[in-house]
Structure formats: C-alpha cells, structure tokens
Structure 1
Amino acid sequence: MKFLFITKPMKYEFLGLMYLSQILKDNGVIVRLHTIGHDLKQVLEWQPDFIGCGVMTGSQNDYLNYFRMLKEKMNFISVFGGPHPTYFPKIIEENCVDYVCRGEGERAILKILQKPKEKIILEPLIEDLDKIPFPDRELLYQDKKHRNNPIKHFIASRGCPYNCPYCYNNTNMKLYQGQKWTRFRSSENVIREVKEVINKYPTKFVYFQDDTFIMNKEWILKFCKLYQKEVKMPFHCIVRLDLLDEELALNLSQAGCICVRCAVESGNDYIRQNILKRGMTKEQIKKGTELLRKYGIAFVLQNILGLPQGGLKEDLETLDLNIACKPTLGWSSIFQPYPGTELGDMFPEVSIDDINDNFYDDSILNISEKEQRLRLQKLFGLICHFPILRVFLPILLNLKFDKLYKKLWRWNNKRADKILYKGTL
C-alpha cells in the first residue's frame, strides 16, 4: 500500500505529518512526500493508493483545487486532516475529498486505511504519548534544505488548557470531552528523541513547538535538569509570562534555553482581560520579561493589532507596553476573525472562504483608522527596537511609504533572528 502526503512549501517542520508517516511505515505502508509546485511526473508514475494533506484554515482552497486536478489525472483515496477539516468537517462535501480526519490522526489514519463506510473519522486520544513512535524525519529530510537546517523541531506535549476566544482550542477540547486533553511525554522520552536527532542529523539548535512549554512546573524542572546534563544544546520554547517565576527562569537558562516566545496580545487592560481573556496583568507581563532579561534569555513578544473592539489608540498602548518590556523582537499580526471561534462569531458576515493564511498585510474587517493600523503593524518591531522613533509615529503612520515599511519589517525580523538563534541560521 502506498500513501502520499502533499504539502505547500514548508517554512518549518510539519511534525504532524511526520508522526503520521512513522505510524504508517510501522504498519507496512510505503510513504512519500510531494510539495505543491514541484514536478508531478513522479507522483503520476508512482500511483499512490492514498493521498493526504494537513490543512490550515486559509489554505483550504489551495488544497481543494490541487486535489481536484489530481483526481482528473489518476484514481486515489483522498484524506483531508489538520486544523481546518477538524473545525469544518463539511469539507467532506467537496467532490475531491473522500475522508476527513478530525483531531489527532495517529489512530484515525490507520482506520482510514481500512476504507470504513463513515467518512468523517474522530478517534479517541492517545493518553500515553510515550507510546507514539518518534516522527519520521526521513520523510522531510530527503530534501537537503530541511536535513541541513541547523534548527530541528520537537514537541513535548499535546493539548493547550487555555480558552483564548480567538483560537480554536476550545473546539478541540469539546471534541474530546471527558478525555484527558493536556498530556505530556516523559522527560526521558523527549530527551531520547532529541539526542537521537542530534546524533543522526546536522543540529545546532532545538526548537520546541509546544503551545505552553512551562504549564507543568514539576515536569519542566525535571526536564531542565535532564536536558542540561544530557543534551547541552541551545533551545527555544513558548512560555506564558504569568507562569514564569525566578526558579523557572533560572532553570531554563541553566538548561540552555536562549530564547522564548510569549503572547501579550494587547497592552490595553480591558481588551486583554475582557475581550481576549488572557488572565494576565501588565505587572505580570513586566515581571516576566524582567526575569527573562535577568537570566539572559532573548524573547519575542507576540501581539494582535487591528482588533475591532479597539482603535489606533489601543494598538499604540500595545506598542508602548512592548517598548517598556524591551523585547528582542516586538512581533505583531493583524486580527483575523476565524469563523467558529468566539471572537470570529461576532462577525457573521465573514465566511470561511474570506480568510486567507496571511495575517500580516490586511484586515478583512472594516476597522477604524485602517491604513494607519496596518502601517503600525509593519513598523511595530522596528520602533520597539528603536524607541526613539516613537515620537515620530503620528507622521510615519500617515506617510504612504508602505513598500519601504514592509522592507524595514523584513529587515528587523532578520535582525532579531540572528540574536534569537545565535547565528545558527
């Protein structure tokens, strides 16, 4: 049996597909990967039995169009999984979609191989993550660009316990109601995978993709001790600033954590607490960033601009909070009202096909002071880095230098990356 995964060009390692590939290989399936835009000749010659993809909301039409084209050229069973089919299983109604895998796919993908009558598959969670085989890196690393990338990606847990109203995580938890949603691999299991990858592939930096790496203090403290002893390689993780304390910051630093990402989202107290439900005060944000600076951990602050519940004034409050925190990079995106989320459902005029996978360049909403707020998104990180420019913002936001601002945005991101990843890029 032959299974082909199809992806758009990857900017980072898609661990989900790699996990599924290993499950399939362990069950005797031959697996390959094809990137959209590459020559189709080998695919047509290989004639896979199944073709699957992981789809993010905003890219669904790209995949649908590609699969329609493939269906005209050969016979195969199509499998759509990932976030978009999980939250919008009606995609099964498309004539190029044979099966939908909702949620985590390790059990579902094996069930689909049996060609069941039901077309939308949701299987129970795997509670013991140590039982899941390590992801199939050879699937991706046949491409020398990925194999030789000094940054390798890992994930130590599954299931975020928070309910941010702009995120689909709440839908995920409802899918698995009554099951243990937040789960951790053992520290030993994670360390074993990291060491295996380091010994086998060119690696200078370890990147943990977990939504919140420090949500279990007992686990993270044990992990840090093991990592410091057995790995000794710089790593990145995502933290919540309200969970960060002196002990955690010290242990992360000693273990080799040289950079983190932290979501602030808004500098306006009402929006952050009542609209975004972050449950995090300015004092906690400032204290957390002070600890990161104290222990020499570079950090990115992530923010959402263009929220319809606020205006330019509130976006500038977000900028000012970031300036006060002195991040390595003040990062910002433009709010996208994803249908099916609590905030997205406030805008019933927005359909799922209105959403694209670019949340940097525009807002699909008719927000106030739109041009100025879109320009602020491009200048945000630069002004965090050069706060002396803050006084000139009233002028800069009204100058139609959008192409220049985009170039400056890209430059600043590259500048920050050199610090965050210590020259490994």
Structure 2
Amino acid sequence: MEEISSGGKYIMRILFILPNVDSSYKLSIHFGIAYIAGVLKSNGYKDIRFLSVSNINEYDYVIKEVLLFKPDIVGFTSVETQFTNVINISKRIKEVWKCAIVCGGVFPTIFPECLKDAECLDGVFCGESEMAFFKFVRAIEKGEDYHSVENFCFCDSQSGQIVKNNLLSQESNLDHLGFPDREIFNFQSVIDLQGNAAPFMFNRGCPYNCSFCSNHVLASVYGKRSNSTRKRSVDSCVAEIKDLGSRYRFDIIQIWDDLFTSDRKWLYEFLDKYKSDIKKPFMCTTRSNLCDEELFKRLKEGGCYRVHMSLESGNDFIRNKVMRRNISREKVVQSFNLANKYKIQTNASSIIGLPFETEEMIKETISLLGSLKVDSPGVNIFYPYIGTRLREVCEEYGLIEHERKHNIRERRESVLNLPHISSGKLHYYYDNFEDLVRQKEGILSYLKFKAKAVGRRIAKMILPYNMQNIIRKAKINKIKTENFPVNLES
C-alpha cells in the first residue's frame, strides 16, 4: 500500500466497478453499491470511487483509472451475463496493480462456484453484504486475515474447494443502513440523463415467485420460500428525498422498488406524507392483481403520474403456466383501464422468446397491449437466469446454446434454440415491437406514434442541447401541473 496520510492515519481507497457491457440497463447508478458505499462512508471510509463499463473498449480506461487511484480494494457487482467482463477486467488489473479484488451481486450470490473460473478474484460476497463488506474493508485496513468474514466465499488454495462462510442475517430494519450514497455516481448527471428525474429504491424484496425471476432464488439462499418485502420507515424515505432535494436539482421522482405497492397500509402513509412534504410527480412499480379503484385514486392524489405494470405475456398459458404470474387477463385489462381512468401513464414490459412460446403467442401479446392503450410498451428477450425454475426447464429440454451464454446482449438477444420460432423472426418482433403495438391501436394512434418518433429524431439532429432542455422542462411542467394543480411552493 502506498502511504497516504490524514493526520497520520492511512486512508483506504475503494473502487467499485459495474460491468454494464452492451446491456439494456441504462442507469449509471447501482443501488447495491450505493448502500454499501453509504455504510462505508458513515464508518469513516470516504475515499470511494465508481466506474461503469459499458463497452469492452473502455477496459483501457479502467486500467488507467486504477493506476491513478491506486485502490486497496476493487469491488465488482455482476449478473450472469456480465461475469466474463468481471474476469477480463480483473485479470488486467492484477497485471498492473496489487490489491484485493472481489465481486458481489446476484450471480455470485446464487452461484459462488463461479470462482472456479475466476482465479483473478480473491473471493465473492453472497447475499446482502453492507455490513460484511464493511468488516472486509476493516480487516484489510488492519492487515488482518479476511477469509473468515461472513458472506465471503473463496477458493481454498490447497484443496481447490469453494469455502462458503456463514451469511449474516438480512437486516430487518432497513433504516439502520442509512441512506444510499449518491456522490460516487456523479448523481446530478444521472438525474439529467433521466430527464430531470431522480431514481430511488426504498424497499427490498418481492413476495411473488415468478419462474423467470431470481427473487425466489435469492430468498432460498437465506432458507426462505419467498423474498418477503422489507420496508424502510416512511419518515426515512421522505427524509432521503428531502436530503437529495437540498443537494441536487430534480423535478420528478422514479421509485424502482421491485413492488412498491405491496403493502397498502405503508403505501397510504407514504402517500399522505409525500403529498404534504414533497409535492413532486413520481412514478412507481405495481402489479395488476394488486390494483383496484382505491389504489389508483390514492396514487393519483399522492402525485403519481406513471406506473410500471409488467404484462410479461398476453398469452394466458405463457403468463400463468410457464411464467407463473397467476394474473388473469380480466385483471390485466381492469388494471390498465383504471390507470387510464385516473390519467396515470403506464409502462408495460413484456418478455418474448420463452420456452414453448410460438409466434402466435407473441402476436397475442402485441394485440393485448394494443387494446390496453399503454403509454410505453417495452419488451425484453427472455434470458434463463441461473437457479430459476425456467433455467431448469431450459436445461431439461436442451434449449440453451451454452457457447453463447456469456457472449450475448442480455435481454436483446436470445441464448435459446427455440423449436417454435426462428431466431430471425424473434428478433424481428423485438426490433419492431412498439411499432407493431401502435399498429394494433389503430391508424390514428400509429400515425401519431410515427410523427412523434420522427419529430424526436429531427429535434436531436437540429436543436442545440439547451433548446432540447427547454422542451424537456416544458413537458415536466405539464406533468407537474396535471398532478399538482396548486401552488407547489405553498
């Protein structure tokens, strides 16, 4: 370690890296890292930096930053499709700089055996590791052995076996963790790129066990059947929004909890406090089976201008038998109709390219979305995440092309050899999804969609950035007026 002193005390330097190569994940912030950084800073570790790697051509930039920053610890977070990038970057770091290199996130949590292919890593962290990582940092600072730290897994040098340490219990009172740190992400630029919207994540977990989602697998790591929701107090959430409002400029709030509306009592308390103390339009996540008239009425009164409700599939067999969503078509239609009634915009994400799905089933999804008048119909191509029930199904039926598993653009390319639809046809539906949905809405809706798309492209080409900003702000003011038709400063 190179000695850097502050009053005679060595200053630990920690670098977090988010491999995000060719990913559909657009936010340059990671809430898992943000919470860990928050805990570290509250315990005196202030010299923390963050890098997001969106292209393999940025590897050289990472190495340059490592040599400039000279970190004691490099910490990655990774999903399955990004782990190859973790290995590649780690190897290059090891060649030029001596430090501890570890990885956490969903993939190492579910599959710590990934270490067998990653000799460049000193270990991985499993589960929620705010306190475990703090203990790891403190051990390295003191020159102590860190191999016994909870949640840490490593490959024993003599036996070659993966050693998995005991997990710390999940924090039941999330208020104890404090606020996630935003400073390391250059957070104002994140807000600006999101159209003057600040992203938040208050609560953890989802009580549902959809077969394509890793939520239930993460719960099983802790010996649970479902990943039950754990919530911060309403006062803590509102205090965080106020704290950020005092330090950053934003007009809209995005709440990216897995399922924000799962607890009505908590939600209504939040909405009352939010309406009186914050008065900014917000978007949040919900689920069709949780929606009724009262929910949308309260959301609208609280300032909600948009909800994200995943459809996943318009085919009942795929949605409920294959994906285990257990939501009837009637409930789906009712929830979107209610959102439209209360003039709350809707995002509806879908997944195509699933086991047993045919082209006709994809067309059903497009038709249903067209009938729902969705504001933003998004689509992803299915990826069989390790540990999930649908991964087991794909393995059982021999659908996975394993040589392509780590070399695809996740959610934009398929790793499956599907018997009922060709790869070319699947990608046609992915590339033209919204266009096809708008056609189903009718000729006027389709022409309006195309005109807007052309207008956006022309605006980006000919308007200076400050003029584009003026247009964005006008849209934001319209949202404000529609959701808070009173003096916002009163």
Confirm or deny a common fold (TM above 0.5).
yes
Aligned to 1:332: 379
Q: Distance in 2 between matches of 1:343 and 1:283?
A: 25
Judged with a 3 Å threshold, the aligned counterparts in structure 2 of structure 1 residues 180 and 324 are, in CA distance, closer, same or farther, namely: closer
Q: Distance in 2 between matches of 1:185 and 1:198?
A: 19
Matched, 1:346 2:393: yes
Which residue of the other structure, out of 163, 171, 174, is the alignment partner of 1:126? 171
Aligned to 2:238: 191
Q: What pairs up with 1:13-412 in 2 under 5 angstroms?
A: 13-29=29-45, 30-36=47-53, 37=58, 38=61, 40-93=63-116, 94-113=118-137, 114=139, 115-118=145-148, 119-120=152-153, 122-141=167-186, 145-146=189-190, 148-149=192-193, 150-177=196-223, 181-348=228-395, 349=398, 350=400, 351=402, 354-355=405-406, 356-370=408-422, 371-387=424-440
Judged with a 3 Å threshold, the aligned counterparts in structure 2 of structure 1 residues 284 and 352 are, in CA distance, closer, same or farther, namely: farther
Q: Distance in 1 between matches of 2:442 and 2:420?
A: 23
RMSD: 2.7
Contact residue 110 and residue 221 of structure 2 kept, 8 A:
no
Judged with a 3 Å threshold, the aligned counterparts in structure 2 of structure 1 residues 116 and 40 are, in CA distance, closer, same or farther, namely: closer
The alignment's TM-score, normalised by the length of structure 2, stands at 0.76
Aligned to 2:487: none
Contact residue 91 and residue 97 of structure 1 kept, 8 A:
no
Q: Distance in 1 between matches of 2:403 and 2:264?
A: 38
Shift of 1:225: 0.9
Aligned to 1:11: 26
| Structure 2 portions without partners, runs of 5+ | 1-11, 140-144, 154-164, 444-452, 461-470, 480-490
Q: Distance in 1 between matches of 2:378 and 2:182?
A: 30
Q: Distance in 2 between matches of 1:98 and 1:168?
A: 25
Contact residue 85 and residue 100 of structure 1 kept, 8 A:
yes
Letter matched to residue 5 of structure 1: F
Shift of 1:358: 2.4
Aligned to 2:13: 2
For residues 306-359 of structure 1, what are the alpha-carbon distances to aligned partners after superposition, in whole Å with 9 as ceiling and x for unaligned? Answer: 222120111111111111111002211112222321111122253496143421
> Which has the higher Rg, Structure 1 or Structure 2?
2
Letter matched to residue 45 of structure 1: L
Letter matched to residue 257 of structure 1: C
After the TM superposition, which of the residue ranges 380-389 and 210-219 deviates more from structure 2?
380-389
After the TM superposition, which of the residue ranges 335-344 and 191-200 deviates more from structure 2?
335-344
Where 2:289 maps in the other structure, the secondary structure is: coil
Contact residue 329 and residue 385 of structure 1 kept, 8 A:
no
Contact residue 112 and residue 126 of structure 2 kept, 8 A:
yes
After the TM superposition, which of the residue ranges 352-361 and 335-344 deviates more from structure 2?
352-361
Letter matched to residue 221 of structure 2: L
Q: Percent identity?
A: 28
Letter matched to residue 36 of structure 2: L
Contact residue 338 and residue 352 of structure 1 kept, 8 A:
no
Where 2:209 maps in the other structure, the secondary structure is: coil
Shift of 1:378: 2.1
Q: Distance in 2 between matches of 1:144 and 1:223?
A: 25
Contact residue 15 and residue 73 of structure 2 kept, 8 A:
yes
Letter matched to residue 57 of structure 1: E
For residues 217-255 of structure 1, what are the alpha-carbon distances to aligned partners after superposition, in whole Å with 9 as ceiling and x for unaligned? Answer: 111111111111111101111110110111110111111
Contact residue 339 and residue 352 of structure 1 kept, 8 A:
no
Letter matched to residue 86 of structure 2: Y
Shift of 1:364: 3.0
Judged with a 3 Å threshold, the aligned counterparts in structure 2 of structure 1 residues 79 and 253 are, in CA distance, closer, same or farther, namely: same
Contact residue 140 and residue 147 of structure 1 kept, 8 A:
no
The alignment's TM-score, normalised by the length of structure 1, stands at 0.87
Judged with a 3 Å threshold, the aligned counterparts in structure 2 of structure 1 residues 422 and 8 are, in CA distance, closer, same or farther, namely: farther
Letter matched to residue 125 of structure 2: C
Q: Distance in 2 between matches of 1:175 and 1:39?
A: 32
Q: Distance in 2 between matches of 1:202 and 1:352?
A: 46
Q: Distance in 2 between matches of 1:201 and 1:220?
A: 25
Shift of 1:274: 1.3
Letter matched to residue 50 of structure 1: I
Contact residue 253 and residue 282 of structure 2 kept, 8 A:
yes
Letter matched to residue 365 of structure 1: N
Where 2:115 maps in the other structure, the secondary structure is: helix
Q: Distance in 2 between matches of 1:241 and 1:47?
A: 49
| Structure 1 portions without partners, runs of 5+ | 391-406
Judged with a 3 Å threshold, the aligned counterparts in structure 2 of structure 1 residues 226 and 101 are, in CA distance, closer, same or farther, namely: same
Contact residue 370 and residue 441 of structure 2 kept, 8 A:
no
Q: Distance in 2 between matches of 1:91 and 1:8?
A: 16
Contact residue 52 and residue 79 of structure 1 kept, 8 A:
yes
